[in-house]
Chain A
């Protein structure tokens, strides 16, 4: 699978491979983290979330890993499909709603046939 240690604006992977998208978050006080998928012309779509008291959470074909020591979040997508092509954003918040979500830099995932 394709993985990157640092944030890249674009990640290109072969269909069927695994992909890893990385994100560095900014606020050490943040306690809730979300990955969103955004297709062109659409709003962000919720993928998976994780609270700060966890370091891993799995969903269907997706896994989120949280490393609070280095303020790093990653999204792993297994067996990527053409429909996974989109821009992926991580977001953080301290909860409670008043500070909204702070979004990281997006990564454009391109699936090659």
Chain B
């Protein structure tokens, strides 16, 4: 499968715990995005990398959220001290920097905070 992959697909955690999600983009794509999607809503943009550089992070929801892409390939999204309001689907997308920059999404990680 040459699409975007995410791991895990589902995560259940207790309030206050830290969680980390992984995203593997389409192999030749140099841009990688993270989004959050709550029930009944469209995805909400969180952050974006071009290669290993995080070029936009002001839309991260709080300082409990952080993302890395250390080698310009896979990326991780970490949420520290999870809260029940963090329960959502976390989506990753990747694109190849061109004039259209079409983003292709992975299957998402469903987070449930108890």
Residues of chain A having any CB pair with chain B under 8 Å: 32, 34, 36, 41-46, 49, 51, 89, 91, 93, 95-106
Once the chains bind, are A43 and B100 in contact (CB under 8 Å)?
no
The one of A46, A89, A100 in contact with B59, judged by C-beta atoms closer than 8 angstroms, is A100
Contact (Cβ within 8 A) A97 B100: no
Asked whether A100 lies within 8 Å of B35 as measured between CB atoms, the reply is: yes
* Most chain A beta carbons < 10 A, residue from B46, B50, B100: B100
Residue numbers in B under 8 Å from A98 (CB-CB): 48, 55-56
Let me know if A93 and B101 touch, CB within 8 A. yes
Q: Which of B4, B95, B104, B108 contacts A97 (CB 8 A)?
A: B95
Which residues does chain B contribute within 8 Å of A96, judged by CB atoms? 101
B91 touches A43 (CB 8 A): yes
Q: Among A49, A95, A105, which residue has its beta carbon within 8 angstroms of that of B42? A: A105
In whole angstroms, how far apart are the Cα atoms of A90 and B105 in the complex? 14
Could you jot down 29 A-B contacts, CB within 8 Å? A32-B100, A32-B101, A34-B103, A36-B105, A41-B110, A42-B107, A43-B4, A43-B93, A43-B105, A44-B43, A46-B104, A93-B101, A95-B99, A95-B100, A97-B95, A98-B55, A98-B56, A100-B35, A100-B48, A100-B56, A101-B33, A101-B35, A101-B45, A101-B93, A101-B103, A102-B45, A103-B42, A106-B40, A106-B42
- Residue from B44, B56, B101, B105 within 8 A of A45 (CB atoms): B105
User: Distance (Å) between the CB of B34 and the closest chain A CB?
Assistant: 9
Chain A residues with CB below 8 A from B45, complex form: 99-102
Chain B, residues 54-76, CB within 8 Å of chain A (1/0): the string is: 01100100000000000000000
